[in-house]
Amino acid sequence: MCGRYVSTRSPQDLSGLFHVTDWRPDETLAPSWNVAPTDDVYAVLERTPREDDDGGSARRELRPLRWGLVPSWAKDPKIGSRMINARVETVHEKPAYRRAFARRRCLLPADGFYEWQPLKNDRTGRTRKQPYFIHPANGQVMALAGLYEYWRDPDVEDDDDPAAWLMTCAIITTEATDAAGRIHPRMPLALTPDHYDAWLDPHRENADDLRALLTQPADGHLNARPVSTAVNKTDNNGPHLLDEVTS
């Protein structure tokens, strides 16, 4: 799974990396070394002027979305806190994700992510969870495959009121490889740049074609280093969370 990650790049940097044509300075997010579920996160997505118009030309946006997908049919948006990840093996068929998989896909930029490994103390017999920061060895941004969804707040009468709509997202996960596989069996699925356009295209709806984009996660060596358990508390933030410690 992916329960925490790091996102510190500026919107200007991300706009250049992902060829974004539309982002709003008033939606700028602060860098975060401890992104947690229900936080607002940057997402790269493509939308047509009207999403029900298949002939419209899409524009590429950088938008803040809340991490934790709330299906359009949900009665309570709190369900999103439990829907931060979607498994690549079943994302196309699960009721909560299949509509978004067909039409509303995004990329979630990350510097890296955290996973926890149970470690047993031979002397006491107790087990503790050691956090690790896992990231590309070359320092490049990870483009995590994601989905986004709209949820309409029934308590807001006016459709044009921004408060009427909640945009949320989830990260697609896959079997872990490389350094991540030694720590946890699952990891977020990062796409290669040659798959960005196809993944973001809102007019591409063939499930088999889309799933083919997810069969080969982005190549590249991942490094993992043990970090302080300070990351366990969502209130803690800052670059010191990435400092290596003795596990």
Q: Distance from first CA to last CA of the chain, Å, rounded?
A: 21
Q: How many CB atoms lie within 10 A of CB 170?
A: 28
Report the C-alpha gap between 140 and 130 in whole angstroms.
25
Q: Which of 2, 106, 149, 169 is catalytic?
A: 2
- Spatial separation of the C-alpha atoms in residues 242 and 236, rounded to whole Å: 12
pLDDT at 26 over 70: yes
- Look at residue 54 in the predicted model and tell me its pLDDT: 53
Active site (annotated) includes residue 115: yes
The class (CATH top level) of 4-242 is alpha beta
Can you give the pTM of this predicted structure? 0.93
Q: What is the pLDDT of residues 172-227, one digit of tens each?
A: 999 987 777 788 889 999 999 999 999 999 999 898 999 999 987 776 789 999 99
Contact 6, 35 (CB under 8 A): yes
Confidence of residue 52 (pLDDT cuts 50, 70, 90): very low
Annotated catalytic residue within 46, 61, 106, 115? 115
pLDDT of residue 56: 63
Q: Which amino acid is at 213?
A: L
Mean pLDDT of 25-43: 97
Alpha-carbon separation of residue 236 from 16, 41, 78 (angstroms): 29, 17, 23
Please report, as a single letter, which amino acid is at residue 114.
Y
Is the separation of the CB atoms in 224 and 116 below 8 Å?
A: no
Structural domain boundaries of the chain? 4-242
